[in-house]
C-alpha cells in the first residue's frame, strides 16, 4: 500500500480553535482524540476531517443528487490527503433514563440487531445446533423421510391435568374427521367415542 493511503495527512488546519495544525493519523486503526475542553477535539474530528471527507464524497455524486444534499462549506485547512468516505455518530445531550445504555443512546443496539440478523448464525440454545428457516413442505418431507414404517401423530394439547368428562369435545372432533386421540399415553380411536 502506498504511504499516502496508510495515513491521513492534515496540513494547516485552522477551523475554530485550531491554529495551523499539522498532523498525520494512521488509517485502519482506532484513534482517540483527547484534550481539555476547548482544545479543538471536535473541530479536528467533525468540523475538519469528517466535513472534508463527506464533502469530497458528495462531489462524486451526480449534480441532480447534490441539489438535495447540504454540502456545507470547505473547512479551513490547507490540505488533507488519504481520506475515505466517512460517517459519524451524533453527540446527544439528552438526559439518559436509568435503563439507558451506550447501545440505546447511540442507536448502536438497533444497528447491531440488523447486523446479527443478516450475518449471524441462529443456534438452538439447548443443543447448540444451527437452525434454519424451512417451509411447511420441507418440514413434512423431513418427517416422512425420518419416520418410514412408523406412526406419525401431530398432537395438540386440549386438556392437561384437568378433571372431568371430555366425551362431548372428543365426539365433536370425531365429527370433524379426526380418527384418533392421544389419551393418557396411548393412541385411542375416536369411533366409538371413548369414555
**Pick from 48, 6, 4, 52: nearest CA to 27:** 6
Q: What is the pLDDT of residue 177?
A: 80
Distance from C-alpha of 86 to C-alpha of 8, rounded to nearest angstrom: 13
> So what's the pLDDT on residue 10?
92
The confidence score (pLDDT) of residue 95 equals 73
Cα distances (angstroms) measured from residue 55 to each of 19, 52, 71, 129 = 22, 5, 6, 47
Task: Identify whether the C-beta of residue 82 lies closer than 8 Å to the C-beta of residue 6.
Answer: yes
Question: What's this model's pTM, rounded to 2 decimal places?
Answer: 0.46
Residue 141 is predicted with a pLDDT of 86
Which residues of the chain, if any, have pLDDT below 70?
Answer: 1-4, 91-94, 161-162, 164, 195
pLDDT, tens digit (0-9, with 9 covering 90-100), for 102-140:
777 777 888 888 888 888 888 888 888 888 888 889 888
Cα–Cα distance between 49 and 82 in angstroms, integer? 11
Distance CA 46, CA 88 (A): 8
Predicted local distance difference test score (pLDDT) of residue 139: 86
Q: What is the pLDDT of residue 168?
A: 79
Amino acid at each position: 500500500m502506498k504511504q499516502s493511503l496508510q495515513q491521513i495527512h492534515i496540513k494547516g488546519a485552522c477551523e475554530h480553535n485550531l491554529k495551523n495544525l499539522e498532523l498525520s493519523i494512521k488509517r485502519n486503526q482506532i484513534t482517540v482524540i483527547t484534550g481539555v475542553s476547548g482544545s479543538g477535539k471536535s473541530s479536528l474530528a467533525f468540523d475538519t476531517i469528517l466535513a472534508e471527507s463527506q464533502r469530497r464524497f458528495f462531489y462524486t455524486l451526480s449534480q441532480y443528487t447534490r441539489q438535495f444534499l447540504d454540502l456545507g462549506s470547505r473547512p479551513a485547512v490547507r490540505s488533507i490527503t488519504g481520506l475515505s468516505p466517512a460517517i459519524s455518530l451524533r453527540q446527544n445531550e439528552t438526559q439518559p433514563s436509568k435503563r439507558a445504555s451506550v447501545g440505546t443512546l447511540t442507536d448502536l443496539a438497533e444497528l447491531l440487531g440488523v447486523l446479527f440478523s443478516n450475518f449471524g448464525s441462529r443456534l438452538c440454545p439447548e443443543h447448540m445446533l444451527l437452525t434454519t428457516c424451512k417451509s411447511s413442505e420441507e418440514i413434512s418431507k423431513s418427517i416422512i423421510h425420518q419416520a418410514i414404517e412408523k406412526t406419525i401423530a401431530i398432537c395438540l394439547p386440549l386438556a392437561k391435568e384437568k378433571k372431568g368428562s371430555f366425551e362431548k369435545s372428543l365426539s365433536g372432533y370425531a365429527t370433524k374427521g379426526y380418527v384418533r386421540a392421544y389419551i393418557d399415553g396411548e393412541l385411542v380411536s375416536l369411533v366409538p367415542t371413548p369414555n
